Amino acid sequence: MSKDDKFKKQHQPPPPLFLGEKERDFVKQVNDEIIERVVGQQVLYFPIDIDHTNYHPLYGEAVEKTFLPPVRVYALVEYQGIETQFTQGMGIDKITKLLIKFHKRRLTEDQELFVREGDFVRYGDIYYEIVKLIEPKLLFGQPEHRFEIQAECIRTRDGLFNGS
């Protein structure tokens, strides 16, 4: 028995057999393909540029907002319809909501895009503001590999944001 054949204790335990990088890449590849080639829904993402937007120093609000170059993003969009809403003291109003499910790894690794509350998306001809983010799933239960970002969005009024 040669010296090289001797069992050596490894510094770290081996990775899980079927939940490693290759499997994660495979999941990404399948998801990319389904979202982009099969479903094909897309939104235009407008990240607000905090450095160039002239926010009020106290109230933290800006009538004119500056945004970074918009990014075309493929995602699963759940349109939740137009609803009548009675605005107290004002009258009849309309509210429209979207639920957008982003593929996180595609966004952060390939498009260098990070989804944040307060950014805007355009779906069709209408702009929506991201009001709530949920990251419900881990890939293979691995805490460093979050899988999906769900963004709840509400339709913006023209006075709040106009990307055109």
Partner 1 sequence: MAVKEIVIQPSNIENIDTAMFEYVRDLELQTHTNDGLQITPVVWLGTERAYQIKNNKSLRDDVGKLYLPMMSVNRESITKDPNFKGIFQAHIGEHPDYKGGVVTIVRRIQQEKTRNFANADTSRLRKGDETGRRKNEKIVYEEITIPNPSYITVMYTLAIRTEYQEQMNNLVAPFISKTGNINSFLIERNGWKYEVFVQQEFAETKNVDNLAEEERMFETKIQFKVLGVLIGEGLNRERPKVTIRETRTEVRISRERVITGDKRPWAVKDKDYREF
Please give the structure tokens belonging to residue 22.
């290759």
Q: Which residues in 59-78 contact partner 1 (CB under 8 A)? A: 59-62, 65
Contacts of 103 (CB under 8 A, 6+ apart): 28, 31, 32, 35, 74, 75, 148
Residue 83 touching partner 1 (CB under 8 A):
no
d(Cα 125, Cα 143) in Å, to the nearest integer? 37
DSSP state of 30: H
Cβ-based nearer residue to partner 1, 65 or 104: 65
Cβ-based nearer residue to partner 1, 73 or 149: 149
Stretch that binds partner 1, among 2-10, 33-41, 57-65, 74-82 (CB under 8 A): 57-65
- Among 29, 55, 72, 134, the residue binding partner 1 under the rule CB under 8 A is 55
Is 129 exposed, middle or buried, given 0-12, 13-18 or 19+ CB atoms closer than 10 A?
buried
d(Cα 61, Cα 121) in Å, to the nearest integer? 19
- Among 58, 69, 90, 159, the residue binding partner 1 under the rule CB under 8 A is 58
d(Cα 126, Cα 72) in Å, to the nearest integer? 15
- Among 35, 98, 105, 129, the residue binding partner 1 under the rule CB under 8 A is 129
- Among 117, 126, 136, 163, the residue binding partner 1 under the rule CB under 8 A is 117
Residue 134 touching partner 1 (CB under 8 A):
no
Sites of contact with partner 1 (CB under 8 A):
48, 50, 53, 55, 57-62, 65, 116-119, 129-131, 133
